Structures are given as structure tokens and as C-alpha cells.
Amino acid sequence: MCAIEEEIRRSARAWVMGKFPEESGDSEWNESKRRRAFQAARSSPLPTVHLPREVSSACLRLPEMEETEAAEKATSYRYWVRDATGDAAPLPAPRKLDAAQLAANYPPPSTLGSVWNKAGTWEEKNLNSWASSRIKDLLGSLDPLEFSTGKASVYEVSKCSGDAFIVTVRNKKRVGYTYELGLKFKGEWLIKEESKKVKGYLDIPEFSFGELEDLEVQISWRDDKGLSSENKAQISKDLKSFLAPIREKLCKFEEELKDR
């Protein structure tokens, strides 16, 4: 029993005995006297109990308070987890990983661009030499075309000027280029029941990455002697058939550029 509870009981017992002492005689009279004394005592203040300083405040908790706290703990999440984990499987023991396991589980982040640019900030790489050489190779292998009144082939890339580059920004790669092209062609057409050899140029104005659908071709002549305007118009219409295979070759160039 807590010391403070014992002190309270002794004080209460002394107070009651002082108000209701043991008396002999008529029991009814004594009972009536005790009743009057009790009614008078109800209006009197309770005796003051002086508690020792060393008594812990935990002794002052009433049984009802202790029961309430126990019920709150039993329904709390923290109490439930602590109680539930008592029967749970033991946690796995920590295990040290070697260098090979660390490399397999935590591979280093891939970075684009040069080795010095690990942060992936702005970096531009010039690809002019590779791009010009690759465009010449692709367009130099165009197949000859045949038309209703003639045939023609591209035999040389006479002009290939421009720029190609890769830009790395925030560890993201962007490619781009701008070029102008000139192709030499030669062909043979039946004009006025005679075979006429024709030479000239297929000029492709400036074009850029992602603009191949808008590609254009312009025809110019090295020797147009003996060609009427009508003949030139028909030959030009035939030569513009090269636009589709040229576009196809340049699309392949774009795909290769993106993989650089």
C-alpha cells in the first residue's frame, strides 16, 4: 500500500472518531445524536492532510485513472505494434556486401557526353566531318530511274555544305544539322524521235533536322542546247522523281545521327 493512502486513512479514521465517539446507553438516543452530528459534519470542511515531500506523485493516482490509462494503452497503435512484434519472425541479420555485390545492386548513373562532363551540363560536339562524309556515301548510291521517254542517274555529290552537332543539356542529348546539297545527274531522253543526252544539277536548298517532309529539289542544266521549254518541263518533272529516294537516304542519315 502506498504511504500516502495509509496517511489519508489514518487521518479520516481520527476525524470520524472525533465526531462520533463510542457512547453507552440508549442506542436510539445515540443513533439520533450521531445523525445530527453527521448532518452538522457535512457542512464542515474536511481535515487538512499534510503529505510528506518525498512521496511520489504516482501514489496520488486513483484506481479509476490507472484503469483508464491501461485501456488507452491497450488500444494505441504503439502498444499494438510492441505487442504484435513479440511473436513475429526475427529480423534478418545485417550482412556486409562486397564490391561486386554493391556494383550489381547500385550501378552508377549513366551520363552522356564527355568523361569530364559527369554533371551533364552544356556540351556541344561538332560532327561536320562525319555528317558530310556519310551524306555523300548515302546519296552517291542512289539507284538510276527510268521514265516513259528516258532514264537518268545521279553520279556525283557536287555540293555538301552545312553543320551537324550533338548538344548535351542537363544530361539529355539533342542532335541537329543544317545542310545544302548539289547532285550531278546525267540522262538520256527521246526527243523528236531522237535520243538526246542531258546533263545538269539537282539542287536541294537548305534543310534541317526534322524538316525532310518539306524537302525540295531544283533543276539546272549544264547544256540545254536543242531543248525547248516543253522538253525542259517534261525532263524536270521526271527528274523530281529522285526526291523520294533522296528523302529516304536522308531519313537514314538522321537515324544514324541520333545514335551517335
Give the pLDDT confidence of 87-135 residue by residue, as tens digits: 566 777 787 777 777 677 766 555 555 554 555 567 889 999 999 999 9
Tens of pLDDT, residue by residue over 124-176, are: 899 999 999 999 999 999 999 999 999 999 999 999 999 999 998 877 889 99
Q: What is the pLDDT of residue 116?
A: 47
Largest CA distance in the chain: 164
Q: Which distant-in-sequence residues (6+ apart) come within 8 Å of 244 by Cβ?
A: none
In 3D, which of 156, 154, 152, 176 has the Cα closest to residue 164?
A: 176
Nearest-angstrom CA–CA distance, 250 and 152: 20
Q: What does the mean pLDDT of the chain come to? A: 77
Contact predicate 158/182, CB 8 Å: yes
Q: What is the pLDDT of residue 251?
A: 97
Is the pLDDT score of 184 beyond 90? yes
Task: Read off the C-alpha cell for 126.
Answer: 561538332
Tens of pLDDT, residue by residue over 13-27, are: 665 555 545 444 555
Q: What is the pLDDT of residue 97?
A: 74
Provide the whole-model pTM: 0.55
Q: b or e along 13-25 (b: 16 or more beta carbons within 10 Å of the residue's beta carbon)? A: eeeeeeeeeeeee
Domain boundaries along the sequence of the chain: 3-69, 123-258
Q: Is 4 exposed, middle or buried (0-12, 13-18, 19+ CB in 10 A)?
A: middle
Give the distance from CA 165 to its chain's centroid.
27
| CATH no. for 123-258 | 3.15.10.20
What is the average pLDDT across 41-60? Answer: 52
Nearest-angstrom CA–CA distance, 195 and 146: 14
Is the pLDDT score of 239 beyond 70? yes
Is the pLDDT score of 236 beyond 90? yes
